[in-house]
Amino acid sequence: MKQFKLLLFFCLAFVISASAQRRYFDEVFSSVKVTESVTYGVNATVLYLSPPPNGLGQAIPEALRCDIYEPEGDTETARPLVIMLHSGNFLPPLVNGGCTGTRKDASDVEMAKRLARMGYVVACADYRLGWNPIAGTQTERVYTLINAAYRGVQDSRTCVRFFRKSVAESGNPFKINTDKITMWGIGTGGYISLASATLDTITDTYIPKFLTPQGPMVIELLSGDINGTKVGRNPGIPGLPYPAGDTLCYPNHVGYSSDFALGVNLGGALGDSSWIDSGDLPFISFHNPSDPFAPCNIGVVLVPPPLNLPVVEVSGSCGAQPMFTAAGVQSPFYSANFDDLLSQKARTLNGNLEGFYPFLGSDSSPWAFSASSNPYNLTTDPGCETLAATHDSYIDTVMRYFAPRACAALGLSADCQLVGTKELSSSQVGLSLAPNPASDYFVLKTDARYEMTRIELVDIAGRVCATYQDMNSSRFEVRRNNLAPGVYFARVQFKEGAVTQKVILN
């Protein structure tokens, strides 16, 4: 009995316990409107340098685009905005292995749609790519990577200014509240969201690992300012792969603020812990502590296999999150005193911190999946991982952990606690489950006056394997579909509370 209660506790940590749906906590909208390929700026990319006879090519102006997700049928006119930045190692799919690298990445789209159904507006944004992970020296790898990250920061802040400008000059077409903007980075995008939240000036990069005997690796005269609001042009610096006079930064939306209110990182890392200070904003992180390529603690980031080349020391979530706490920027989270089961679970894993959920296991990006094994139609099928129940369950956890903290940081509600559900007994609601054990299906029945509103099927590891909602019935048949044999827990919710029932599938 003691072992069963312990398993049940951890299973419930991963399920939605609220019986009443709330905007920004639950998916209160059923459909999503998508506006594709919105140009939020134009800037110079070094990814496609043309090779003229002298060996130098000009950086090419590139349209920066985003897809915007909104809840269909929403009447709210001042909604929080999430700017979502994809993964991909600062390289296009053709170069990075083919599973990620654009705003169309399948797991990003899934998260954007979920957030939109919760009431957010989400902009999945591309940003400029390009660096040299196979450079012959570590110095060159560091130089090209820090400049790629710098361009990413410029682009993310350009996107913020685009939306501020759309409110001020275009009548707020996307119905957003510019005081409630979140920068959400996934993988490589997490490097950008962390840097965008902490880099105050270009001089923050003037630290030993980003310096050469010739001077700083990032030069404002060449690359523009940290916000991308000043022209950057090569004044004739020798040894660069583009000619003198070439423009590397075009200003966009000058005069508007680049500020945002909350940061999120899934599997990225901070360029240097010295960038954190008391003036920064609250930050939520998700990370696998054993990730070998994006260190969770302070460690050297590696070029992925088969090269495994060392690049530069960074600080992942395990290293950065305690520093955010020490700097006082996580105070909205601590002040909220979150005491739901998922928050308790996180604190047991992260050393009693707020704003950090560690994902244990062998998968460095357990939320990530692709639309197919070859989503970007490469000549050789890269064998990308496609959607499985485990991906859904990890994304469930991300959303569940994010929601109350975003509520607290952005001021979305007077009550940011996850609504606790009163535990009911099976006898109270007349709940029966049969057959049990089951083969192809089982049926849940209750007294007629107790209607089931939501059912979640959770496996013994705490993963949500199936969800059924809005049935409002005293009888419901659960089909097995492709679920593996084993022990599961059916979490049945009513307006009055919830009951958890054990079921075995043969």
Q: Which long-range contacts (CB under 8 A, 24 or more apart) does 208-217 make?
A: 209/142, 209/272, 209/312, 209/313, 210/142, 210/146, 210/271, 210/272, 212/139, 212/143, 217/142, 217/143, 217/146, 217/147
Residues 149 and 280 both lie in one domain: yes
Q: How far apart are CA 389 and CA 130, in angstroms?
A: 34
Does residue 55 belong to any structural domain of this protein?
Answer: no
Which one, of 120, 146, 445, 110, lies nearest residue 301 by Cα? 146
Cβ atoms of 134 and 95 within 8 Å: the answer is: no
Q: How much is the pLDDT for 17?
A: 40
Domain finish residue from 410, 438, 472? 410
> Cα(505)–Cα(466) distance, rounded to whole angstroms?
14
Spatial distance between the Cα atoms of 148 and 134, rounded to a whole number of angstroms: 15
Nearest residue to 228 via CA among 289, 170, 160, 296:
160
Q: Return the structure tokens found at 357.
A: 């959920």
Amino acid at 378: L
- 367/498 same-domain check: no
Residue type, 75: T
Q: Helix and strand tally (H, E) in the chain?
A: 11, 22
Query: H or E segment at 92?
Result: none
Question: Residue 307: inside a domain, yes or no?
Answer: yes
**Chain segment 30-68, per-residue pLDDT in tens:** 999 999 999 999 999 998 875 655 556 889 999 999 999
3-state secondary structure of 150: helix
Confidence at residue 162, expressed as pLDDT on a 0 to 100 scale: 98
Helix, strand or coil, per DSSP, at residue 361 = coil
Indicate the helix (H) or strand (E) that contains 37.
Answer: strand 32-45
Question: What CATH number did the domain enclosing 480 receive?
Answer: 2.60.40.3080
Cα(155)–Cα(174) distance, integer angstroms: 20
Residue 52's pLDDT is 56
216's tokens? 């700083």
Q: Pick from 381, 410, 439: which residue ends a domain?
A: 410
Taking the CB of residue 51, how many other CB atoms lie within 10 A of it?
9
Are 339 and 448 contained in the same domain? no
- Give the 3-state DSSP-derived string for 444-497, with helices as H, strands as E and coil as C: EECCCCCCEEEEEEEECCCCEEEEEEEEEECEEEEECCCCCCEEEEEEEEECCE
Q: Which two tokens stand for residue 271?
A: 């360029």
Residue 388 sits in the same domain as residue 478: no
Rounded to whole angstroms, the Cα distance separating 407 from 389 reads 27
Burial state string for 55-86 with b = 16 or more CB within 10 A and e = fewer than 16: ebbbbeebebbbbbbbbeebeeeebbbbbbbb
Do 204 and 265 reside in the same domain of the chain?
A: yes
How far, in Å, are 100, 349, 413 from residue 183 at the CA level?
19, 25, 20
**What is d(CA 366, CA 369) in angstroms, rounded to the nearest whole number?**
8
192 and 298 share one domain = yes
CATH code (residue 362): 3.40.50.1820
Q: Which of 187, 182, 183 is CA-nearest to residue 368? A: 187
Structure tokens at 292: 């070998």
- Please, are residues 76 and 43 in contact by the beta-carbon 8 Å criterion? no
pLDDT single digits (tens) 377-390: 999 999 999 998 88
The pLDDT score that the predictor gives to residue 500 is 85
Longest dimension (CA), the chain: 83
What does the pLDDT read at residue 49? 73
Nearest to 57 by CA among 67, 66, 47: 47
SS (H, E, C) 301-355: EECCCCCCCEEEEEEEHHHHHHHHHHHCCCHHHHHHCCCCHHHHHHHHHHCCCCC
Whether residues 86 and 125 share a domain: the answer is yes
Q: For residue 406, is it within any domain?
A: yes
Domain total of the chain? 2
Let me know if residue 496 belongs to a domain. Answer: yes
Q: Are residues 117 and 196 in the same domain?
A: yes
Q: Are 433 and 442 in contact (CB under 8 A)?
A: yes
Specify if 305 maps to a domain: yes
**pLDDT at residue 307, as a whole number:** 77
Residue type at position 122: V
Range of the domain at 490: 426-505
CA distance 493 to 16: 10
- Residue 372 is assigned to a structural domain of this protein: yes
Q: Are residues 325 and 465 in the same domain?
A: no
In a domain, 474, yes or no: yes
Helix axes 188-198, 138-169, angle to 10 degrees: 70
**Contact between residue 421 and residue 498 where contact means Cβ atoms under 8 Å apart:** yes
The mean pLDDT values, 10 residues at a time, for the chain of 506 residues are: 45 43 93 98 88 70 97 97 97 94 98 98 98 92 96 98 98 98 98 98 97 95 97 91 92 98 97 96 96 88 81 96 98 92 89 96 92 96 93 93 97 83 79 94 92 85 77 92 91 81 93
Distance CA 378, CA 462 (A): 36
What is the Cα–Cα distance from 175 to 196, expressed in whole angstroms? 24
Same domain, 406 and 440: no
Considering the domain architecture, whether residues 435 and 388 belong to the same structural domain is answered as no
61 in any annotated domain: no
Q: What number of residues does the chain have?
A: 506
Instruction: Specify whether 396 is located in the same domain as 456.
Output: no
Q: Which of 410, 436, 454 is the last residue of a domain?
A: 410
Record the pTM: 0.82
* Residue ranges of E strands in 384-461: 432-434, 441-445, 452-459
Alpha-carbon distance of 333 to 318, in angstroms, equals 17
